[in-house]
């Protein structure tokens, strides 16, 4: 454990309606545990959850110019909710609402495990956030802070969020291939439905081995038995079961002393409604 410090974000530029704001964060011999943006707006009622999702289109986290996480405010709020963290929002134009990016994964059971996923910055050239502000945003103001420590560590086992969309044109079975082209491991996968209940059954197979199978009732019960929180329309597959050591690998032994990529990691979705599904893959590994 190391002494943690709360430091303000001081390098924020380009904040305006219809623009992309940039936050440049210090790099070098330090680690990030969390980053929180404060958002103020002149919209009546202040920075509520709905207003922040309406006025901020997307947030990206970049290391050395490459995207490591990409999400909307609603996706951030709900993925944090899955991990037991409720957003702090505003009901006044004079008080900010907050968007928090947890880098030490809060759902892990011990401080030791949470510290395994902090984002070290040793050897990193640039670390930035990009915030796309909607044209209709009303007098937006962005501030923020980070929780850091001064441990000199490179980014090793960071959790990246890879977002994709499954195109669904009809009800019935839809197959989706989960990427195994990198050495990263799968912490969790969340299938975000267009409307709650779109997915009636879900099956994941890992090199033909049935890994996870549920219907909507089993999905609820399974999450009740973990430290995760169920969020409506977010079909969450908790592959790591709150422990980084249980993350599902993208590589395996070839039986002859070598290592190969997993050939097929497949999701079979049974769709009750023909709405597209957004997939958020939480991957543990080195930066992209």
Residue 246: predicted pLDDT: 87
Residue 6: predicted pLDDT: 98
Q: Which of 72, 78, 147, 76 is nearest to 114 (CA)?
A: 147
Segment 100-134, tens digit of pLDDT: 999 999 888 778 888 899 999 999 999 999 999 99
Query: Hey, how many other C-beta atoms are within 10 angstroms of the C-beta on 3?
Result: 8
Q: Please, what's the largest Cα pairwise distance for the chain?
A: 65
**Which residue's entry shows tokens 């059954």?**
201
Query: Please, what's the b/e burial string for 100-138 (b: 16 or more CB within 10 A of its CB; e: otherwise)?
Result: bbbbbbbbbeeeebbbbbbbbbeebeebbbbbebbeebe
Q: Are 126 and 182 within 8 A, CB to CB?
A: no
Residue 225: predicted pLDDT: 66
**Which residue's entry shows tokens 């892990």?**
108
Of the pLDDT bands very low, low, confident and very high (cuts 50, 70, 90), residue 1 is low
Please tell me the pTM assigned to this model: 0.95
The answer to whether the 5-156 and 160-285 domains have the same CATH topology is yes
For residue 81, the SS3 value is: helix
Residue 258: predicted pLDDT: 83
Alpha carbon of residue 141 to chain centroid: 24
Interacting residues of 245 by C-beta distance below 8 A, sequence separation 6+: none
Residue 12: predicted pLDDT: 98
Segment 212-234, tens digit of pLDDT: 988 777 777 777 667 788 999 99
Segment 19-71, tens digit of pLDDT: 999 999 999 999 999 999 999 999 999 999 999 999 999 999 999 999 999 99
Q: Which two tokens stand for residue 43?
A: 């919209």
Assess whether pLDDT exceeds 90 at residue 242.
Answer: no
Handedness of CA 217, 203, 200, 165 (dihedral sign): positive
Q: Locate the domains of the chain by residue range.
A: 5-156, 160-285
Find residue 39's DSSP bridge partners.
97, 142
Residue 187: predicted pLDDT: 94
Find residue 251's DSSP bridge partners.
261
Q: CA 139, CA 128: separation in Å to the nearest integer?
A: 23
Strands across the sheet containing 209-215: 172-177, 265-271, 199-206, 209-215
Q: CA 47, CA 2: separation in Å to the nearest integer?
A: 34
Q: Which two tokens stand for residue 16?
A: 């305006």
Out of 2.60.120.730, 3.40.50.10860, 3.30.70.20, 3.30.360.10, select the CATH number for domain 160-285: 2.60.120.730
Query: Please, what's the b/e burial string for 195-204 (b: 16 or more CB within 10 A of its CB; e: otherwise)?
Result: eeebbebbbb
Phi-psi region of 144 (alpha: psi -120 to 50; beta: other; left: phi over 0): left
CATH of domain 5-156: 2.60.120.730
């Amino acid at each position: 454990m190391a002494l943690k410090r709360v430091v303000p974000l001081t390098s924020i530029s380009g904040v305006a309606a219809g623009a992309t704001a940039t936050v440049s964060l210090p790099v070098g011999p330090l680690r990030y545990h969390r980053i929180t943006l404060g958002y103020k707006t002149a919209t009546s009622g202040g920075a509520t959850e709905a207003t922040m999702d309406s006025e901020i289109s997307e947030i990206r986290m970049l290391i050395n110019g490459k995207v490591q996480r990409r999400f909307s405010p609603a996706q951030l709020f709900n993925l944090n909710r899955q991990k037991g963290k409720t957003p702090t929002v505003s009901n006044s134009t004079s008080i900010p609402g907050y968007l928090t990016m947890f880098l030490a994964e809060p759902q892990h059971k011990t401080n030791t495990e949470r510290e395994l996923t902090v984002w070290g910055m040793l050897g990193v050239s640039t670390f930035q956030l990009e915030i796309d502000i909607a044209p209709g945003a009303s007098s937006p103001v962005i501030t923020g802070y980070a929780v850091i420590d001064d441990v000199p560590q490179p980014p090793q086992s960071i959790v990246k969020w890879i977002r994709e969309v499954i195109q669904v044109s009809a009800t019935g079975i839809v197959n989706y291939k989960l990427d195994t082209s990198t050495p990263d491991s799968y912490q969790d996968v969340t299938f975000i439905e267009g409307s709650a209940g779109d997915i009636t059954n879900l099956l994941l197979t890992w090199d033909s081995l049935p890994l996870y199978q549920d219907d909507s009732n089993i999905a609820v019960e399974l999450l009740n038995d973990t430290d995760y929180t169920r969020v409506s329309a977010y079909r969450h597959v908790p592959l790591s079961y709150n422990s980084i050591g249980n993350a599902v690998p993208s590589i395996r032994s070839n039986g002859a002393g070598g290592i190969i990529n997993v050939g097929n990691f497949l999701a079979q979705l049974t769709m009750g409604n023909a709405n597209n599904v957004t997939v958020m893959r939480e991957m543990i590994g080195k930066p992209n």
